[in-house]
A and B are shown apart, each in its own frame.
Chain A
Amino acid sequence: MKSLKKILILLACLAVIAGTALSSGCNKKTYAVYTNIPQGEFEIIDSTFTLGGTIGGYSPAEKEKGEEVDTSNYTARDCVYPSVMYTEAQLVVYGDFTAEGAEEHFENFRKAVGRRLTEISKAVSSTVTNSDIYNFNNAAAGATVEISQTTYEILAEAKAVYDFTDHYYNPALYYNIKAYGFSTAEKYPQTAAELPSDEVVAEYTKLASHFGEIELSNDNGYFVTKPAYTVEVGGENLTLKVDLGGIAKGYAVDEVDGLFDEYGYKFGYFNFGASSMLVKRHFKNDNFNLEFISPRSIKRDGYLKISFCNEKVSTSGDNEQRYIIDGVRYCHVIDPTTGKPVQTGIMSATVIGGSAASADALTTAIMAMGKDKAISFIEEKLTDRKVVFTAE
C-alpha cells in the first residue's frame, strides 16, 4: 500500500514536470525560416526557429575551387576601422608574415582599405557639407549636380536594384526615415503622438516614388539630375533626397574585395558592421562558419549556421535601430508601399552571393515585400543567390 502511494507521488511529480515543460513550450513564441538553400547545407541551431518552407529555383553557377596553397606558415593580421558610416569595420588577412616585405605589404593594404572606406563614406554622407549626396539633396528640383565616380556607381546600382525589385528597394525614402527618427540627428519618438501623421507620410512617400526619374550621365565627368517633382509639406516645397545607407556598406565591401585581389590576398575576411561581409578563404579549412544572429535574441544568439567561402553576404533586420510604441515595433527599414517602418512580419533577410551592394539593397527589399511576394521574387529572380529570411 505504501509502495503504491510512493509510486503515485512519483507519477504526480513527473506529471507536474511534464505539464510545466509542455506549457512553457506552448507559450514559447516560434519563428519561421524560409530559404532557397538546399537542405543539408545549413543548420537551424535555435529551437524557437523552424523551417517555414523551402523556396525553389536555386541554381547557382559552378564555383571554381580555390587553388591549393601551403598555408602552414600563415598567421592573422587585422585592422579595425572605427566610425565608418556610423559603424565599425574589421579587416582580417591570413598570410605568411615571416616573408620579406609581408608586413609592409599588409600595412599598405590596410591603409588602402582605410582610404577607400573614407572616400566612400564622405561621398555618400548626407550630413558632410559638400559631399556628393549633401549637394544632391540640397540642389533645386531638376538641377544637375556633378558627383564622383564612387557616388555615380552607387546611384547606378541603386537604380538597377530599384527596377529589379519593382521599387521595393527605394533609397529616396529620406524624409520617411527622418520622420520616424532614424536619421543620425533625430531622436526616436517616445509616444504615438510624436509619430508623423499619415498625411505627411503619404506626401513623403509620393515624392520618393519619383526616384526612378533621376538621370545619371558619365559624359566628361559624372553627373546626376534631380527629378523636377516636388511636394509641399507644412508650407515647404520639398525636393527628392536620397539616403544610400542601405547600399553603401555593401558597395564598400565590393571595393574591399577588389583591393584583396589587387594586393594578392586570398585568405581572410572583411566585416562591415556585421551587416555586410566579404568572406574569402580560411587558411585552415577554406570555409568559414557563419552564424546568423537571431533578430529576437537579446543576447544575440545565432539561429542558423552555414559554411562557405569566397562569397559576399549582406543582411537586414528589424532588431537594429528600432523602438516600440504601444506594442508596435518601428524599425529603420521603410516599406516603400506605405512609407512606414516595415510591418510585413519579416524580421530579417540575408543574401549570400553576387555583389554585396546589390545584396545589401535586396535584403531591404525582401523585408518590405512580405512573405508571399518575397518567396515568388526569390524563386523567379534570385536563382543564383542563397537567400534566408525569417518571419513572425
Chain B
Amino acid sequence: MSLKKVEQVKKDKGFRLFDLIIYGVILLLVAIIFIVVFTTRNTDPLTGVKIFVNAEEVFSYEFGGEAVYSESETLTVEEDGAGITVTVHTRGDGLNKVYINKSAKTVKMTEANCKGKECIYFPEMSNNTDFIYCSPHGVKVEPLTKNLESPDLEIG
C-alpha cells in the first residue's frame, strides 16, 4: 500500500466509525425481529388436524391415531405408512388435496384448482397455531387442539 493510500485511509477513519454504527443498528434490528418472532411464537407441536368444508367438519386425525371421517362422494382418503392424502371435492367441481405427513407431523395443501391457488402457498402446518384456508372452496385445515380456556374468540 502506498503512503498516499495509507494517508487516505487515515483520513477516512471518522467515516469508518459511522459505517460501524449503521452496521450495528442493522444488526440490532435483525436481532430484535428474530427475538420477537421466535419468543412470541407458540411452538407447541401439531398434535393433529381437522378439515372443514364451509365450516362443517368433514375429517379429523390425531397423529398416532385413526383418521375420523364419513365416507362420501365429497371426500376421498388414501392412507399409507408415510402419510394420508385427503381429497376434498367442493361445489362447482372444486378440488383440494391435503397431505398429512405422519412421521414429520406436518400438514400441507398439495393441490387445489381454485382461482389464485393461495392455499397451496400457505406454509406447511407444524405447530398448533398454523392453519391453511382455501377461501374460494371454503376449505379450512385447523390444528386439532383448541384451548377451551382461552378468552379469545373469533367471529366472521
Contacts and interface: CB of A to CB of B under 8 A. Distances in A.
A288 B148 contact: no
A82 interface: yes
A233 interface: no
B62 to A, nearest CB: 15
B56 A82 contact: yes
Interface residues of B, number: 29
Nearest to B154: A291
Contacts of B92: 187-188, 190, 323
Given A2-B12, A10-B22, A76-B148, A87 B155 contact: no
A319 B135 contact: yes
B54 A321 contact: yes
A289 B15 contact: no
B55 interface: yes
B56 A315 contact: no
Contacts of B19: 6
B54 A87 contact: yes
Contacts of B133: 298-300
Interface in A64-116: 75-78, 80, 82-83, 86-88, 92, 94
Contacts, number: 102
Contacts of A317: 156
Given A188-B91, A321-B54, A289 B155 contact: no
Contacts of B118: 298
A293 interface: yes
A319 B133 CA distance: 13
B52 interface: yes
A243 B23 CA distance: 64
A319 B156 CA distance: 9
Nearest to A283: B149
A78 B148 contact: yes
B136 interface: yes
Nearest to A184: B91
Interface in A185-208: 187-188, 190
B153 A292 contact: no
Interface in A291-327: 291-295, 298-300, 302, 313, 315, 317, 319-321, 323-324
Contact of B154 (A86, A274, A283): A274
A271 B153 contact: yes
B103 interface: no
A82 B15 contact: no
Interface string B52-63: 101111000000
A348 interface: yes
B151 A350 contact: no
Contacts of A282: 151
Interface in B74-123: 91-92, 115, 118, 122
Contacts of B122: 299
A291 B153 contact: yes
Contacts of A274: 55, 154-156
Please list the 5 inter-chain residue pairs (A to B) with the smallest Cβ-Cβ separation, ordered nearest first. A293-B156, A76-B148, A87-B55, A282-B151, A3-B15
25 contacts: A2-B8, A2-B12, A6-B15, A78-B148, A80-B57, A82-B57, A88-B55, A94-B149, A187-B92, A269-B153, A274-B55, A279-B153, A282-B151, A288-B151, A289-B152, A291-B153, A292-B155, A292-B156, A299-B133, A300-B154, A302-B154, A320-B138, A323-B92, A323-B136, A324-B115
Given A273-B55, A299-B122, A300-B154, 5 more contacts: A7-B15, A291-B152, A293-B154, A321-B138, A324-B115
